[in-house]
Amino acid sequence: MKYGYRKIKATVSKNRTIRHDKRDYYVTSGSDKFSKHKSTPVKISRYKDKLFIFEQSEDGILLGEAIAKKPFDRPPAPEPSPVPPDELDTIIALLEKHNMAVERPVLIEVYHRGLTLARAEQVLDHNQSRYVDYMKKMNQPDDRKNQALFNAFMLDCQKSLNTNHVATYASHGDIT
């Protein structure tokens, strides 16, 4: 029990590999201490995916280390349940679908001021023809056009959020 490890008998092959627990390990450090012409009996101790190699005697000296050739075959982790996208992610996907270069900090700021998915769709539908004309008239690379389109959409959203939708009949009376 020298070094505090429980040791198991094993053999380092002439090509410097060890077969233990149905797994192959390759000697990485201390490989020069093992013969290339014949197998060498040793004692090993496993720690996680590594083997420590000791001399054959009970209180053997540490000779080297071996690492598994393939990582552990663990059972596959259960698939995490898909998280439905929140409203902001849905808005981003909608804008990217309409070829806009979304600047997330700007969008998040407008979102916190009251932008909703329904309002974003409403602004897009209301201004879609204007956006198409705007894209045709611009003589810029596509990434600049997409950025400008997003900026126009943000201005339209801010205008939509800042207006009070008051019914026309309500403004004709005496406001006191």
Give one word for 30, left, alpha or beta, with left for phi > 0 and alpha for psi -120 to 50: left
Give one word for 124, left, alpha or beta, with left for phi > 0 and alpha for psi -120 to 50: alpha
Number of other CB atoms surrounding residue 152 within 10 Å:
16
What is the predicted pLDDT for the residue at 1? Answer: 45
What is the predicted pLDDT for the residue at 9? Answer: 87
Q: Does residue 128 surpass a pLDDT of 70?
A: yes
In DSSP terms, which residues pair with 68 in a beta bridge?
A: 25
Q: 33: Cβ–Cβ under 8 A, 6 or more apart, which residues?
A: 63, 64
Distances (CA, A) of 101 to 45, 92, 93, 110, 130: 56, 10, 11, 16, 17
Tokens of 3: 């070094």
What is the predicted pLDDT for the residue at 165? Answer: 57
What is the predicted pLDDT for the residue at 147? Answer: 92
Q: What percent of the chain has pLDDT over 90?
A: 16
Tens of pLDDT, residue by residue over 66-119, are 887 765 555 544 545 555 668 888 998 999 999 899 888 888 888 888 889 999
What is the predicted pLDDT for the residue at 118? Answer: 92
Over residues 34-41, the mean pLDDT reads 85
CA-angle at 152, arms to 151 and 154, nearest 5°: 65
Tokens of 91: 């808005």
Q: What percent of the chain has pLDDT over 70?
A: 81
Q: Would you say the C-alpha torsion 133, 139, 143, 148 has a positive or negative sign?
A: negative
Looking at per-residue pLDDT, the higher value among 78 and 155 belongs to 155
Instruction: Quickly state the pLDDT bin for 124 (edges 50, 70, 90).
Output: very high
Q: Does residue 152 surpass a pLDDT of 80?
A: yes
Tokens of 68: 């598994």
Tokens of 1: 């029990």
What is the predicted pLDDT for the residue at 149? Answer: 92
